[in-house]
């Protein structure tokens, strides 16, 4: 999962002092002397022959059934046109261009890595089936422990270097190295994989430790280009802070296009190796994608109206209703220069919750936590602030299909039940301001930290007002998302409103609820830089999570997911807020989309890069605006993937 907030901005000041070479990927910084790990890496591979295996084609199993995944419908529109510049906003500037290690898991990671970089295989976004990526053939062993891949001979990085089998060996080496300072990634590689094997220059395999419901899902990975990471060593996070890895995907970032604190531009790779390949030929159409830092949504909307941005949407799946209903009724929309789309998707919902830090005083008490659940008026926020466009999220595991328990229900707002729970915790007296106290005079006061967006601030004011009816004094702390993440990651919060980007096919509770991510081993010192914002450390839950991570089939996966979800609800460490079954967006009419609007398994409007810029329509639109001509309002709703309504 990917945390949905931008992270620390302090590195920007450092980044501005770096000397960036426009003609190479080298960042000149006297702190980092030249380094070459080539021999060191080879020695590491040789030292662990059971992990890094070198074989010959004769060692391949004889009866493998190789697949190509070319029998499915293409993705995108044949009408798509190449060229143009797409302009979009980002609310904060990223603190690094690394995709792993400290701060690497920020929201801009999707824009420069998750949505761009190619793995061995990819998923068809309408069918959820496997399709070619860097590999154009693959097979699964009879015992379903090993997945074999053949690299596409055309696969090439943006710097012209061919993708090699050893680049996936490098992915193992770096992910397992303490130099990466990425404990989640290291744990995953240690737990999931037995070995990686090279058979020839095109063929490799990845062997899992145990059978999985879908072994391809576990074995699929992206490369780490050896030539780029030859300076990988103990100073990796700082040395590679602003070095952009060459991509095998459609877009690259040139160092001169990193305008610190202002913008980052992606440039379409000239003669991209997959530009004519099925599933990719009608996507990634714009020549340039410019992300401009605009911290204010109001300012972003005004720039959008001026045509300086091509799309106005929300990475949180739901535009604030004030924009959709009130500010959206603008002349540009009524005249058809701007169009308004709603798209119902099928995707795990963002687990947007109020996370309760159980390491803080009082919050380690179950009765206090249960009382807080009943003290937050989610229903009123959904009705008043969200105008009933959202529904109450029943658990933080929503949207995973059969792996989401249908039996869970969020605790409703109920001041009487809240006070009943607080009474059990010893808070029986009410002060003159209505806040409950215990016999020691301790007030029931907590700080709620939220991101500084109008929607969240409005919600927080409602929660504060209605929590007082339950005897709780909520102090609201509105922070920019960089500060918010830093506080939560350092486990200094009491209550924090946060959301994580969930991905299919299964919930991943280990990073959120396992004690490995709560405290430093053998201590009660909170473990920082993890996603366990609730500081959950429960031996019974640990056991279930460990079993879930090793589930051999989907039936067992479902059983364990449901048990985990029920146990999480019992401990009342997070308060589910809302979820939405669609995403909405405004766009200028020159930004064109496939006939169906988008793909079924997408979370945001622009992430699949199925859109394109039509320069002829752009010229036509601008001329009509000058002449006062109207195309008529266009508001479309795409419901082909909507869940059946009761």
pLDDT value, residue 28: 53
CA angle 292, 106, 93 (to 5 degrees): 30
What is the model's pLDDT at position 307?
A: 97
Predicted pLDDT at 186:
94
pLDDT of residue 18: 44
Comparing C-alpha atoms, which of 489, 466, 429, 475 is closest to residue 106? 489
* pLDDT recorded at residue 11: 37
Whole-number Å distance between alpha carbons of 528 and 237: 16
Cβ neighbors of 17 (< 8 A, separation 6 or more) are none
Q: Quote the pLDDT of residue 315.
A: 56
The third-level CATH classification (topology) of the domain covering 353-579 is Dipeptide-binding Protein; domain 3 (3.10.105)
Alpha carbon distance 563, 569 (integer Å): 10
Helix (H) or strand (E) holding 372: helix 366-375
Q: 229 and 180 in contact (C-beta within 8 Å)? A: no
The per-residue b/e assignment along 68-80, b for 16 or more CB within 10 angstroms, e otherwise, is: ebeeeeebbbeeb
Cβ contacts of residue 541 below 8 Å, gap of 6+? 513, 514, 564, 567, 568, 571
**pLDDT given at position 328:** 83
Q: What is the enclosing helix (H) or strand (E) of 269?
A: none
- Which residue in 484, 504, 502 sits closest to 493, CA to CA? 484
Nearest to 450 by CA among 355, 574, 322, 526: 355
CB 103 within 8 A of CB 7: yes
- The low-confidence residues of the chain, meaning pLDDT below 70, are 1-29, 315-318, 645-646
pLDDT recorded at residue 167: 99
SS3 content of the chain, % helix, strand, coil (to 5): 30, 20, 50
Residue 576 forms beta bridges with which residues? 353
Domains 2-18+32-268 and 353-579 share a fold: no
pLDDT tens across 546-594, in order? Answer: 999 989 899 999 999 999 999 999 999 999 999 988 899 999 999 999 9
2-18+32-268: what fold?
Answer: D-Maltodextrin-Binding Protein; domain 2 (3.40.190)
**3-state secondary structure string across 24-75:** CCCEECCCCCCCCCHHHHHHHHHHCCCCEEECCHHHCCCCCCCECCCCCCCC
Domain locations in the chain as residue ranges: 2-18+32-268, 296-345+581-638, 353-579
Asked if the bond preceding 505 is cis, omega within 30° of 0, the reply is yes
Return the pLDDT at 10. Answer: 36
* Residue 646 confidence (pLDDT): 52
- Maximum Cα–Cα distance for the chain, whole Å? 83
pLDDT at 350: 84
Give the pLDDT score at 7: 34
pLDDT value at residue 5 = 33
């Amino acid at each position: 999962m990917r945390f949905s907030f931008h992270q620390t901005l302090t590195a920007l000041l450092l980044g501005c002092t770096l000397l960036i070479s426009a003609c190479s990927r080298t960042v000149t910084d006297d702190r980092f002397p030249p380094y070459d790990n080539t021999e060191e890496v080879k020695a590491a591979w040789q030292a662990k022959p059971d992990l890094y295996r070198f074989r010959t084609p004769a060692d391949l199993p004889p009866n493998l059934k190789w697949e190509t995944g070319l029998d499915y419908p293409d993705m995108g529109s044949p009408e798509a046109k190449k060229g143009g510049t797409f302009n979009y906003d980002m609310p904060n500037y990223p603190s690094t261009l690394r995709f792993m290690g400290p701060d690497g898991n920020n929201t801009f990671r999707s824009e420069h890595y998750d949505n761009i970089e190619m793995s061995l295989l990819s998923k068809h976004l309408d069918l959820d089936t496997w399709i070619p990526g860097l590999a154009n053939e693959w097979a699964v062993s009879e015992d379903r422990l090993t997945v074999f891949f053949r690299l596409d001979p055309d696969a090439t990085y943006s710097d012209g270097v061919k993708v090699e089998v050893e680049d996936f060996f490098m992915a193992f080496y770096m992910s397992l190295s303490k130099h990466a300072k990425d404990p989640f990634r290291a744990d995953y590689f240690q737990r999931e994989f037995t070995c990686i094997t090279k058979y020839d220059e095109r063929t490799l395999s990845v062997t899992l430790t145990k059978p999985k419901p879908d072994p391809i899902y576990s074995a699929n990975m992206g490369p780490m280009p050896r030539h780029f990471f030859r300076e990988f060593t103990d100073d990796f996070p700082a040395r590679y802070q602003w070095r952009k890895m060459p991509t095998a995907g459609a877009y690259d970032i040139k160092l001169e296009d990193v305008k610190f604190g202002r913008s980052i531009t992606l440039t379409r790779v000239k003669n991209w190796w997959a530009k004519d390949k099925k599933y990719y030929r009608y996507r990634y159409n714009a020549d340039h994608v410019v992300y401009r830092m605009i911290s204010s949504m109001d300012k972003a909307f005004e720039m959008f109206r001026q045509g300086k941005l091509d799309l106005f949407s929300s990475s949180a799946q739901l535009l604030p209703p004030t924009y959709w209903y009130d500010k959206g009724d603008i002349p540009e929309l009524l005249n058809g220069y701007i169009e308004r789309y709603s798209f119902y998707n099928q995707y795990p919902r963002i687990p947007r919750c109020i996370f309760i830090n159980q390491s803080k005083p009082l919050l380690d008490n179950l009765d206090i936590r249960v009382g807080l659940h009943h003290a937050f008026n989610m229903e009123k926020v959904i009705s008043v602030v969200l105008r009933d466009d959202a529904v109450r999220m029943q658990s933080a595991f929503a949207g995973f299909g059969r792996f989401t328990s249908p039996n869970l229900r969020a605790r409703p707002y109920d001041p009487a039940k809240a006070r009943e729970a607080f009474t059990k915790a010893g808070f029986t007296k009410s002060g003159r301001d209505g806040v409950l106290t215990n016999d020691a005079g301790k007030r029931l006061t907590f700080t709620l930290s939220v991101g500084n967006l109008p929607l969240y601030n409005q919600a927080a004011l409602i929660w504060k007002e209605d929590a007082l009816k339950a005897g709780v004094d909520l102090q609201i702390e509105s922070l920019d998302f960089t500060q918010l993440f830093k506080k939560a990651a350092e486990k200094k919060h009491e209550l924090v409103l946060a959301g994580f980007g969930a991905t299919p096919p299964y919930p991943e509770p280990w990073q959120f609820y396992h004690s490995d991510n709560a405290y430093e081993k053998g201590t009660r010192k909170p473990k920082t830089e993890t996603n366990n914002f609730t500081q959950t450390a429960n031996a019974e839950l640990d056991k279930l999570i460990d079993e879930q991570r090793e589930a051999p089939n989907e039936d067992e996966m479902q059983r364990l997911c449901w048990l985990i979800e029920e146990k999480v609800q019992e401990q009342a460490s997070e308060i589910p807020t809302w979820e939405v079954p669609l995403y909405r967006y405004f766009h200028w009419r020159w930004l064109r989309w496939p006939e169906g609007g988008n793909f079924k398994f997408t979370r945001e409007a622009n992430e699949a890069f199925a859109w394109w810029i039509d320069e002829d329509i752009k010229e036509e639109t601008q001329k009509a605006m000058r002449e006062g001509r109207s195309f008529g309002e266009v508001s479309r709703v795409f419901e082909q993937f909507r869940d059946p309504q009761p």
